[in-house]
Amino acid sequence: MSSNNEESKLIVPDNFGDSLENDVWSIFKIMGEFVEGYDKLFKIGPCVSIFGSARMDEGHNYYKMAQKTAKNVTERGFGIITGGGPGIMEAANKGAQEGGGKSVGLGITLPHEQGLNSYVDDDYIINFHYFFARKVMFVKYAQGFIVFPGGFGTLDEFFEALTLIQTKKVNPFPIVLIGTDYWGGLVKWIKETMLANGTISEEDLDLFHVTDDEEEAVEIICDFYQKHTLGPNF
């Protein structure tokens, strides 16, 4: 009878390394996504990235707020970057066009592909296969994040931005959460659990703002650049 250690020993398939050639070639695909993203976004100029749920249609209040916010942002001279999908992303791209600004869509290939919304400018479409390459583009040329209620992807972008700013891997930029009812529980947990346990510092709470006023969100970003220089974040 075999011992417990033998029964639990990791079994490595003989063909485990057979995908090495594919892995090597994927490096060139990754490089291609970075090159295209850097090239297009550099030419677009200063932008604000807007995030939020793909599941909120045009009748939802947050959809209307996102549309109005994006319009206001573009009227101040910024372009708008979104994930290019439906919901809040569509609302933001729509608002960008209404404001006469640049409307960028960073698409992603997914199993249940919905395609880019019709309000992304044809010249500013960038499609990605790799989430991590796409996430870099959201940050590099964004002069601010405006984050509407959303799911895991929205939280992912929010916390990654906080981490990059906290660790000084990027230049600081304003991050605004819109929707106190939606974000209130998370903010309370950050303060009462993370801060209370010493896993973040008091000053880390200053890395983001929370509001229900879309005009205030835009003012926070514009006021920030009264004191800071516009430019790529890293």
206's CB contacts (< 8 A; 6+ apart) are none
What Rg do the C-alpha atoms of the chain give, in angstroms?
Answer: 20
Range list of β-strands (E), 66-187: 79-82, 103-108, 125-128, 142-147, 175-178
Contact 98, 67 (CB under 8 A): yes
Q: Helices 20-44 and 131-140 sit at what angle, rounded to 10 degrees? A: 20
Cα–Cα dist 232/234, whole Å: 6
Matching CATH number, 20-224, of 3.30.300.30, 3.40.50.450, 3.20.20.70, 1.25.40.10: 3.40.50.450
Measure Cα distances from 134 to 55, 106, 108, 204, 227 in Å: 20, 7, 8, 26, 29
Cα–Cα dist 210/221, whole Å: 13
**Res. 75: pLDDT tops 60:** yes
Determine the length of the chain.
234
> What pairs with residue 213 in β-bridges?
none
Tell me the pairing of strands 142-147 and 209-211.
unpaired
Question: pLDDT for 141-195, tens place per residue?
Answer: 999 999 999 999 999 999 999 999 999 999 999 999 999 999 999 999 999 999 9
Question: pLDDT for 16-45, tens place per residue?
Answer: 666 667 778 889 999 999 999 999 999 999
3 state DSSP class of 182: helix
More confident residue, 149 or 8: 149
Contact 105, 93 (CB under 8 A): yes
Q: How many CB atoms lie within 10 A of CB 46?
A: 17
pTM above 0.85, yes or no: yes
Question: pLDDT for 107-148, tens place per residue?
Answer: 998 876 568 999 999 999 999 999 999 999 999 999 999 999
Six-digit token string for 185: 């529980």
pLDDT confidence of residue 7 = 67
